[in-house]
Structure 1
Amino acid sequence: MTRGVNKVILIGNLGDEPVFRTTGSGTSVANVSMVTNEVRRNAESGQMTEIAEWHRVVLWGRLAEIAKKWLHKGALVYVEGKLRTRSFTDKQNVKKSVTEIVADELQMLGPSKTHSGEESFSSHSFAAPKNSAVMQNDNSPYGNPSAQSSILNELGFPNQSSVPSNPEPAIVVDGNDDTDDLPF
């Protein structure tokens, strides 16, 4: 059976303050709403229109704690993660489902303020630890390095151990020399 790829990359602004909580087992969780904007030209009128798409993002563990301290409404962030759909029953006993992005990486792209009001420019990148409890509870092979290697081999990519760590470039062109034999 072939494996798929579930990867989401977003750059956008937070629509609200992060909602932070701790699970019964003590794991930190933060939920944020994020908006990405896209500009399209209307084919009939030729006018440019902006389309906003809203996303639910879930941050676990250390990423949640970072979100609690540094992220605020309007902050520009880069989020990388995977798409998850889960079902639940609400208080009226109606079954519902929600699709969320479970973040693996977070990068703050602009100025931010702490809860104490201090402003700093931050462009730090944070990643969820690969051996975290959240990743261990995930039954997918994507958090397991040996399974990842197996998947890459199935897709025709070389084994990481067979790839040189510092390969020599195949062709070096400096642009000042006409002695190369490239046809352009």
Structure 2
Amino acid sequence: MQEGVKMLNCIVLMGRFTADPELKHTPNNTAVTEFRLAVDRSYIKSGQERQTDFIDIVAWRSNAEFICKHFKKGQLAVVQGSLQIRSYTDKDGIKRRAAEVLADSIYFAGSKKETETNKGSQPDDLPENISPKSSNFLEMLDDDLPF
């Protein structure tokens, strides 16, 4: 690899939460949440139904707190982040690998009506320490899309 060449690891997904996200804390009291998005594939094989992938996502600190407060099962969201591969040893001593997306930003992607019916999804309801300008989160509604 040439010196000074930067690698690119960027993923953008749009899908629905498969369950309500749950906020957890590490032993050092760092907020974290792990959740799964159901993401439809962009193509359909002839004579078959559209396939769906279930993508594991992890978010940390204020991102995790924001997600758990403002997103619910079934809600449509856009996640921007990077792919990370973890190696671990399972309870039987077998070495395993897991792929997951490390979320940098998450955006509301449902209709305005869908967003308003989910408790706490209004921008006015943000935690005191998170402002729309500083949280890396942006609400996207159908009316905002150019198509």
When normalised by structure 2's length, the TM-score is 0.71
Aligned to 2:32: 29
- Select 2:118's aligned residue among 113, 116, 123: 113
Corresponding position: 1:12 with 2:18: no
The correspondence of residues 15-94 of structure 1 with structure 2, limited to 5 A, is 15-38=18-41, 40-43=43-46, 47=47, 49-94=49-94
Q: Give the % identical residues.
A: 24
Aligned to 1:178: none
Distance (whole Å) between structure 1 residues aligned to residue 100 and residue 72 of structure 2: 19
Of structures 1 and 2, the larger Rg is shown by: 1
Unaligned runs of 5+ in 1: 129-184
Instruction: Decide whether aligned partners of structure 1 residues 41 and 71 sit closer, same or farther in structure 2, where only a CA change above 3 A counts.
Output: closer
Report the aligned-residue RMSD.
Answer: 2.3
Distance (whole Å) between structure 2 residues aligned to residue 27 and residue 121 of structure 1: 25
Aligned to 2:99: 99
Distance (whole Å) between structure 2 residues aligned to residue 68 and residue 96 of structure 1: 28
1:50 partner SS? coil
**In the alignment, is the contact (CA less than 8 A) between 1:13 and 1:77 conserved in 2?**
yes
AA matched with 1:127? N
Instruction: Decide whether aligned partners of structure 1 residues 26 and 41 sit closer, same or farther in structure 2, where only a CA change above 3 A counts.
Output: closer
Distance (whole Å) between structure 1 residues aligned to residue 42 and residue 80 of structure 2: 22
When normalised by structure 1's length, the TM-score is 0.58
1:32 partner SS? strand
Residue correspondences, number: 120
Unaligned runs of 5+ in 2: 124-131, 138-147
